[in-house]
Amino acid sequence: MVAQKTMDFSPIKEKLVAMIGAGRDAFNRHSRASLEQFKTLEEAARQEIAAAKKKVAEYLAQAKGAEKDQFTVYQKILAALEGLVTTLAGLQEPIQKKVKDSILFSEKAVSQTNCLFDTQTGVIRSIFDIIQTNNEYLKKFVREEGGKVQKDCDDYATEHETRLVEGLCTPQAAPIFLAILEQFRSLGKQESELVEHFQG
């Protein structure tokens, strides 16, 4: 199909994966440089999506039949990806607070946050593989991982409350950790919903 031959979503994938990596590095190393890179990559991802949306609109105006259906799906996917970028960008504020004030997390909270970052990398890569292959197994994987991320965030928040009561986590770290969990929870929900835009 023309849609498959002419649309290249890999630049968007690269920016999102790099964005996750920069966010993780800023979180772990208290790196201001990585935080700046995170912001730069956000803008670059938005530019890539805007360019892709423009191209899809041009193709859609000329497409017919199945091609038209495919480009309509691409429009929905790009809108959903734009939403993912916005939610991912929401990690900037809590991480920036952590970096600015050099706030330390408990070992458990660091481990849990890194697990969420790792999961995101795999889910994002799978979403872009689905765009190319429409693979049912990958759709199921993203759906399940999105649900698991939401549950994990709820569980991590509950465990965090226990650590706070036991004095294993500082009051300064609490709102930052919970804000990070909220963004990841939203990402999981959006990713599960994104899969429903695919045909088949």
The answer for 102, left when phi > 0, alpha when psi is -120 to 50, beta otherwise, is: left
> What pLDDT shows up at residue 53?
96
Is the Cβ–Cβ distance between 166 and 52 less than 8 Å?
no
Count of structural domains within the chain: 1
State how far the Cα of 94 lies from the Cα of 92, in Å rounded to an integer: 6
Q: Which of 160, 39, 30, 40 is nearest to 97 (CA)?
A: 30
25: left (phi over 0), alpha (psi -120 to 50) or beta: alpha
Query: For residue 175, what is the domain's CATH number?
Result: 1.20.58.220
Lowest mean pLDDT among 39-43, 66-70, 117-121: 66-70
Q: What is the Cα–Cα distance from 164 to 167, expressed in whole angstroms?
A: 5
Residues 155-189: tens digit of each pLDDT: 999 998 888 777 777 889 999 999 999 999 999 99
Domain span at residue 137?
2-197
Indicate the pTM of the whole model: 0.92
What gap in Å lies between CA 15 and CA 73, rounded to an integer?
21
Mean pLDDT of 69-79: 92
